[in-house]
C-alpha cells in the first residue's frame, strides 16, 4: 500500500497581503531564502481594509481551503487606520463563518510588517499545516467549480 504524491491532500490557500507591510514581508521571506509551501497563493491588496467580506467568501467559493489576511500591525497602517477597520470586519465575519459551521481555523488574520520575513514564513507554514489537518473545504465550495 502506498500513497502517491498525487493523492496526497494539498490545500489551496489564499493569502490577501497588504501592499505596504505584508507583501513586503513576503518579499523579505523570499529574499532571505525562508521557505513556505507553494500552496499559498498571495493576492496583493492596497490595504487590509480593501478586503471586502465577499473576497473571502469568493475565495472559498472558487475552491480555497483556507483564507488568511495579512496587514500592517495596528498603528502602522500606511493609511493610518485602515487595518483597525479591517480588524473589526474580520472579527465579525470570522465569527459568522464559525456560526454557520465553517471551522474557525480556516480563516485567520495576522499582522506582518515589512521587516518580518521570518514571521511571514512561520505563519504560512503553520496555517498550511492547520488547513491540511482540517482537510478540504466542502461547506463553502461551489460544486460547479469542481473539476
Partner 1 sequence: MFKIAKCNLPELLKAIAAQQELYLPVNISGQTNFAVWTEGTEADLDTLKTVKSPKDMFFPQSETLYTVRKENKKLSIEPEALKEQKFVAFGMKACDIQGIKVLDKVFLAEPVDTFYRARREHGTIVALACHAPEETCFCKVFGVDCAEPDADVVMWDLGEAYAWKPVTEKGQALTDSVSAVLESAGAAEEEAVASEQAQIRAIVEKLPYTNLSLKGWDGNATATKFDSPVWEKLYKPCLACGTCTFVCPTCQCYDIKDYDTGHGVQRYRCWDSCMYSDFTMMAHGNNRTSQMQRFRQRFMHKLVYFPANNDGMYSCVGCGRCVEKCPASLNIVKVIKAFEKEAVDQ
Partner 2 sequence: MQEIINRAKELLADGTVVRVLGWRIGDLPYNPEPSYFETAEDLEANFVYNGFCGANLSKYMIEGSKLEGKTLVFLKPCDTYSFNQLIKENRVDRDKAYIIGIGCKGKLDIEKIKAKGIKGILNIRGAEIDGNADTLTIETLYGEKTIPYKDAMLERCHVCKGKDHMIYDELLGESIDTKDADRFAEVERIEAMSPEEKFAFFQSELSKCIRCNACRNVCPACSCRKCVFDSTKFDSAQKANVDSFEEKMFHIIRAFHVAGRCTDCGECSRVCPQGIPLHLFNRKFIKDINEFYGEYQAGADADSKGPLTSFTFGDVEPGVTGGRR
Interface residues toward partner 2, by CB under 8 A: 53-54, 57, 61, 74-75, 81, 84-85, 87-105, 107-110, 139-144
Residue 91 binds which entry of partner 1, partner 2, none, CB below 5-8 Å type-dependent: partner 2
Q: What is the 3-state secondary structure (H, E, C) of 75-119?
A: CCECCECHHHHHHHHHHHHHHHHHHCCCCHHHEEEEECCCCCHHH
Between residues 2 and 101, which has the closer beta carbon with respect to partner 2? 101
Between residues 50 and 62, which has the closer beta carbon with respect to partner 1? 62
Residue 84 binds which entry of partner 2, partner 1, none, CB below 5-8 Å type-dependent: partner 2
- Please report, for the chain, how many H helices and E strands are present, in that order: 4, 4
Q: Work out the end-to-end distance of the chain between its first and last CA atoms, rounded to an integer number of angstroms.
A: 27
Residue 141 binds which entry of partner 2, partner 1, none, CB below 5-8 Å type-dependent: partner 2
Q: How far is the CB of 143 from partner 1 (least distance, A)?
A: 10
Between residues 33 and 144, which has the closer beta carbon with respect to partner 1? 144
Which residues are near partner 1 by CB under 8 A?
A: 62-63, 144-145, 147
Q: Using CA of residue 82, residue 12, residue 41, residue 36, what is the dihedral sign?
A: positive
Cα angle for residues 61, 64, 66 (degrees, 5° grid):
120
Contact assessment for residue 69 and residue 109, using Cβ atoms and an 8 Å cutoff: yes
Residue 63 binds which entry of partner 1, partner 2, none, CB below 5-8 Å type-dependent: partner 1
Residue 147 binds which entry of partner 1, partner 2, none, CB below 5-8 Å type-dependent: partner 1
118 sits in the region (left: phi over 0; alpha: psi -120 to 50; else beta) called alpha
Amino acid at each position: 500500500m502506498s500513497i502517491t504524491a498525487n493523492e496526497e491532500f494539498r490545500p489551496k490557500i489564499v493569502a490577501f497581503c497588504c501592499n505596504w507591510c505584508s507583501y513586503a514581508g513576503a518579499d523579505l521571506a523570499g529574499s532571505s531564502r525562508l521557505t513556505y509551501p507553494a500552496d499559498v497563493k498571495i493576492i496583493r491588496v492596497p490595504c487590509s481594509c480593501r478586503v471586502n467580506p465577499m473576497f473571502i467568501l469568493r475565495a472559498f467559493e472558487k475552491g480555497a481551503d483556507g483564507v488568511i489576511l495579512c496587514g500592517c500591525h495596528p498603528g502602522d497602517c500606511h493609511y493610518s487606520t485602515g487595518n483597525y477597520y479591517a480588524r473589526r470586519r474580520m472579527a465579525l465575519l470570522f465569527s459568522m463563518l464559525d456560526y454557520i459551521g465553517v471551522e474557525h481555523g480556516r480563516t485567520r488574520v495576522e499582522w506582518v510588517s515589512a521587516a518580518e520575513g521570518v514571521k511571514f514564513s512561520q505563519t504560512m507554514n503553520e496555517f498550511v499545516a492547520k488547513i491540511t489537518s482540517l482537510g478540504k473545504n466542502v461547506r463553502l465550495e461551489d460544486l460547479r467549480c469542481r473539476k
